[in-house]
Structure 1
Amino acid sequence: MLDLNGNPTTSYDARLKIWSGAKEQSYYNDELTIGQIIFRQLQSEPQRIFQISHSENTRLTRNQMLVNAAKVSVYLRQQGFNSETHVVGIVARNTTHLAALGYGCMFNGTTFHAVNPNLDVHTTSKLFDITKPRLLCCDAQDYDKMQNVARTLGTQLVTIDGSIAGVTSILDIFETVLPEDYKPASFENGIDRTLAILCSSGTTGTPKAVTISNSRKIFEAHSYLSLNDVQYAPSTLDWLTGLITLITAGAYGTLRLISKEPFSPAHFLTMCEQQDISWAVLAASHIAMLANFPDVNAKQLRCLRHLLFAGGHTLVATLEKMRSYLRGEGILRNAYGMTELGTCVSCNYSTHTKPSSVGRLMANVRMRVVNESGEALGPNAVGELYCHHGQHWSGYFGNALATNEMRDTEGWFHTGDLGYFDEDSYLHIVERKKDMLKFMGMMYYPHEIEEVIAQMPQVAEVCVFGIWNETQGDAAAASVVAKSGCQLDASKVLAFVAEKISVSYKHLHGGVQVVSALAKSANGKVNRQAVKAAYLNAVRDS
């Protein structure tokens, strides 16, 4: 439910100190799986173009996607995939037939575990050792890496993009005979069945295998999408945003635009001009790259009606610049969510008036702000954010201890994020709880110093982290990326921070490095630990 200005409504219970999104009833009954919902949608207007691969120059109609996915489902049945514990492993980029594989698993009620193809073989093997998939699907370019993983698990390999002699490919699976009376599998209370297993972000440790149910929340937050929308996200299927775009395309019948090329401003602008993207979901770092790209202009982005970003903090100056290229207010939106919740928790439609906020709560989401003593806090008080979405969650696959640490007995997720609600019930994220640093006995957050450095006109991106020593604590240090064509000296950054911040404990006692790029995780988030490691390596080698 939206207010008169188009923002989600959020109410506050001052007695319980709980913020709540609007109460909304789902359109679908609890017996249906998402696969059944998508199957019905794909049956309408069968000759309508459903997916375009920009990088491969391929087009698939709804009927082609439906038939291919149904054949994957039949193949899985023939291979004995008849239990929720029977898992398909996926390591793949956004190529032509990935969607059919995903939908086919959904049609059969088979859980798929998606892992990013850029992860090292050790981490990939460790993740699949948790879920032990009975089938591993990968791109041909990753076959050698995945062959070792498959051999360890005793699992068959199937290629999705490209082929290997003697190895089953997705095209071979499309040769499966489809019964005339084919229907997707049905289950009692299908809404609670595990749909997928994704990876946690890994920014605070080794990624965990996160179960995602068939909850409607994964797509109903985007019910404004229509048949006329062209949607795009650079995220692969192992990220929540990648899964959301796959499901929303199927559920609402939008045109799904994909590319196996990684995000770059030039590539995104080309697709906007050629394919008329109306709905895009990017990482916060992508917005910074796009806003500071020297060749960007409003004409290239005129097709965008919804530009969502998530997965990190974006500077106010960057938001202002990005909005100047869009054709109206409310297009640029900051979303906040967690893989564990399987949905957006909040969305900010008012980045022009509340640029530092992640918005108001989505429907049927509740939130509390809790201090270290477990006491609930009111407006404008910073604490850890607890979230409740009222949906089934099977937890981290094979990790009951981590599951219990994440969600308490009352169903509240302990997000690990520090934040607060302002007097207008807008949510603000201060920082990850584990990113809070202490220097000379004083607490500070890297984000505070990043905001100051970003005011320098030569700065494109910045990451601040702590350099620890046992006598002083975490001395703030910064890695800074200069804008194209600009010269930036580390000493000027040091002096600028010292001038703008009055308290010494927030000065850059750990130093400054000007670098060509910041290390990022596979979904575009700045990886603070990796940036710090590169900084320390450079210091050691100098």
Structure 2
Amino acid sequence: MTFTRMSYTPVNSYDNDQKIWSGEPVIKYFDPDLSIGEIIFHEMRRHPQLTAQISATEGTVLTRRELLANVMRVSSYMRSEGLLQSDIVGIIGRNTTHMLAVAYACFFNGIAFHSLNISYDRDTIEKIFKVTRPCIIFCDGDEFEKVRSATAQLDVKIVTMRNHPLDSIKIDEVLTTPIERNFQPAKLERGNDQTLAILCSSGTTGTPKAVTITNSRHILAANYHLTTADIQYSHNTLDWITGLLTTITSGVFSTTRIIADNPFDPAFAMRIIEEYKVTWIIQPPSCMALMINCPDFETCDLSSLQCYLFGGSRAALEVQKAIRCRLSHDCLQFAYGFTELGAMATVNYHFDEKAGSVGRLVNGLKLKIINDEGVSLGPDEVGEVCIMNNQHWSGYYGNEVETRSMRDSLRWYHSGDLGYMDRDGFLYIVDRKKEMLKYQNIMYYPNDIENIISEMPQVAEVCVFGIWSDIFGDEAAAAVVKKTGCELEAEDVVDYVSYRTDSKYKQLNGGALIVEDLQRSANGKTNRMANKAHFLNVKSRRS
């Protein structure tokens, strides 16, 4: 297959003395004094006739003029309620027609929103919102009673976005608010150091932390190629950094955004790409795996895609190859980053040459690899990945202790990921620092075994974890999702790993389990702890 390369390739430099890699300098496309909200306001007025948003599930279409009017109405409502820039707006909702107006209204008013996943239970919502204490919460009617119960101790108004209960404030009522005369977006009281949004950490080890995202330009990095001709689609909601990224880039670059408020369905997603000629998409690897496991995958038309980003967790090379074989352009790009950074850190545009890499640094970032003593390491040496973006970060809202553990006094973010940079400046992620396993005092990574299992043509997804043995230590075990229509037994997986490696510690000494789906955290990432718990629960019932 012949590809046309679509993307700009960043160049990194390396300081051999400091052992620090640097991306290229940041290019300033917009007035540095303007907030994200101000940029979106001006860009929406520049292109009033363009289609801003299409809902594939609700059947609505909004031009940029119509969307801007809705945003100003919601903004005016917030102002009439007396909200200040120090206040917080809560969001727990799907990608419905007017959710974009709520997000942009917060941007226009300089008010940070705190977005939670709709799957959070009542107790989790209560714990999280006790930290940020929102004044108004925008949620779907589906979650209204849960949200009202969780926030009973707060003085909060609740606006519903769809499926409205009788006693809720409906978004349609908010949209009747008169637009403030001579409406202008607010100037940020603290400039662009001010918090733009608050998302939640993955929450795989406890209650999710409230992660502040600074009102900066770094979230636009690697997407300056977007134009008014682009059609963007992401199924991710505003509680994901990728959902926030899509929300911002569609406003800044005046693209058309396709949304849907249903649970992710691979066949439906592929129909969206085909019907609307989507050019830009961002997905987690779990969605990619579902797509290649869908009967429609081999016949769907993905030829319109010119930028296919994925990230958030590791995608097996077999999954990447399967997706890439269906694309007309060389546009499958592995993006690495973490919520605290607020955007992408690296992007890989070189699949053929560096298939296992997450790529080179984007503009404006620095990176170093450190050992357990904090000493910087050189090329091809494995250690913790640390990144600096030279921007303000307000940390975890209300949690100074965790903030200091994430970002040190020299402003380096400690990712918790183990990796290395090769001599060409490409980053490779080995595994999570805390997920290293030890079998008979030999260290190994779950990903080593996941890569082997992913080679099996019958396997759609896999998660490997350690089962503790008093004699041997961490015995590797696996939860495996098989592809639709394939025959696969747990013993087949164990035997394949045994055949592929002669290392005793990399065998599935703890066994394997075929599952319908992997256990995931609320933001869709594979949750090793939950998969291990499920594995042990099933094994105990069978014994």
TM-score (norm 1): 0.97
Aligned pairs for 1:334-413 within 5 A: 334-413=334-413
Letter in 1 for 2:26: E
* Separation in 1, partners of 2:350, 2:435: 27
Residue number in structure 1 paired with 2:168: 167
Letter in 2 for 1:119: Y
Aligned: 1:28 with 2:18: no
Aligned pairs for 1:132-171 within 5 A: 132-171=133-172
Give the aligned CA root-mean-square deviation in angstroms.
Answer: 1.5
Residue number in structure 2 paired with 1:71: 73
* Separation in 1, partners of 2:153, 2:292: 45
Cα contact 2:89–2:112 (8 A) shared by 1: yes
* Separation in 2, partners of 1:101, 1:8: 35
Cα contact 1:298–1:324 (8 A) shared by 2: no
Aligned pairs for 1:212-251 within 5 A: 212-251=213-252
Aligned pairs for 1:11-22 within 5 A: 11-22=13-24
Distance 1:514 1:304, change over 3 A: same
Displacement of 1:125 in angstroms is 1.2
What is the CA deviation profile of residues 148-202 of structure 1, one whole-angstrom value per residue up to 9, with x for unaligned ones? 0221223111111232223211111111111331111113552111111000122
Displacement of 1:5 in angstroms is 7.9
Letter in 2 for 1:540: S
Residue number in structure 1 paired with 2:186: 185
* Separation in 1, partners of 2:196, 2:154: 22
Runs of 4+ with deviation above 6 angstroms: none
Residue number in structure 1 paired with 2:321: 320
Question: Partner of 2:301: helix, strand, or coil?
Answer: helix
Cα contact 2:88–2:112 (8 A) shared by 1: yes
* Separation in 2, partners of 1:158, 1:469: 51
* Separation in 1, partners of 2:471, 2:45: 67
* Residue 49 of structure 1, aligned match among 43, 47, 51: 51
Displacement of 1:299 in angstroms is 5.3
Cα contact 1:347–1:358 (8 A) shared by 2: yes
Displacement of 1:522 in angstroms is 3.2
Question: Partner of 2:443: helix, strand, or coil?
Answer: strand
Cα contact 1:298–1:326 (8 A) shared by 2: no
Aligned pairs for 1:83-482 within 5 A: 83-84=85-86, 86-188=87-189, 190-297=191-298, 300-329=301-330, 331-482=331-482
* Separation in 2, partners of 1:455, 1:184: 52
Distance 1:299 1:141, change over 3 A: closer
Cα contact 1:439–1:474 (8 A) shared by 2: yes
Question: Partner of 1:328: helix, strand, or coil?
Answer: coil
Distance 1:36 1:243, change over 3 A: same
Cα contact 2:368–2:386 (8 A) shared by 1: yes
Displacement of 1:317 in angstroms is 1.9
What is the CA deviation profile of residues 123-152 of structure 1, one whole-angstrom value per residue up to 9, with x for unaligned ones? 111111110111111101111111102212
* Separation in 1, partners of 2:68, 2:537: 51
Distance 1:26 1:204, change over 3 A: farther
What is the CA deviation profile of residues 199-236 of structure 1, one whole-angstrom value per residue up to 9, with x for unaligned ones? 01223443100001111011243110000000011111
Question: Partner of 2:488: helix, strand, or coil?
Answer: coil
Cα contact 2:221–2:343 (8 A) shared by 1: no
Cα contact 1:283–1:523 (8 A) shared by 2: no
Alignment size in residue pairs:
538
* Separation in 1, partners of 2:116, 2:397: 14
* Separation in 1, partners of 2:44, 2:84: 24
Letter in 1 for 2:81: Q
Cα contact 1:31–1:189 (8 A) shared by 2: no
Question: Partner of 1:243: helix, strand, or coil?
Answer: helix
Question: Partner of 1:244: helix, strand, or coil?
Answer: helix
What is the CA deviation profile of residues 262-283 of structure 1, one whole-angstrom value per residue up to 9, with x for unaligned ones? 2222011110111111000000
Letter in 1 for 2:293: N
Displacement of 1:29 in angstroms is 3.3
Cα contact 2:228–2:254 (8 A) shared by 1: yes
Aligned: 1:523 with 2:523: yes
Question: Partner of 2:328: helix, strand, or coil?
Answer: coil
Higher mean displacement: 476-485 or 89-98: 476-485
Aligned: 1:502 with 2:502: yes
Cα contact 2:93–2:138 (8 A) shared by 1: yes
Cα contact 1:333–1:348 (8 A) shared by 2: yes
Gaps of 5+ in 1: none
* Separation in 2, partners of 1:91, 1:318: 31
What is the CA deviation profile of residues 392-422 of structure 1, one whole-angstrom value per residue up to 9, with x for unaligned ones? 1000000000000000111000110000001
Q: Percent identity?
A: 44
* Separation in 2, partners of 1:388, 1:195: 19
Cα contact 2:115–2:198 (8 A) shared by 1: yes
* Separation in 1, partners of 2:6, 2:163: 50
Cα contact 2:234–2:283 (8 A) shared by 1: yes
Letter in 2 for 1:407: R
Letter in 1 for 2:89: V
Letter in 1 for 2:493: V
Distance 1:7 1:204, change over 3 A: farther
Displacement of 1:481 in angstroms is 1.3
Displacement of 1:105 in angstroms is 0.8
Question: Partner of 1:158: helix, strand, or coil?
Answer: strand
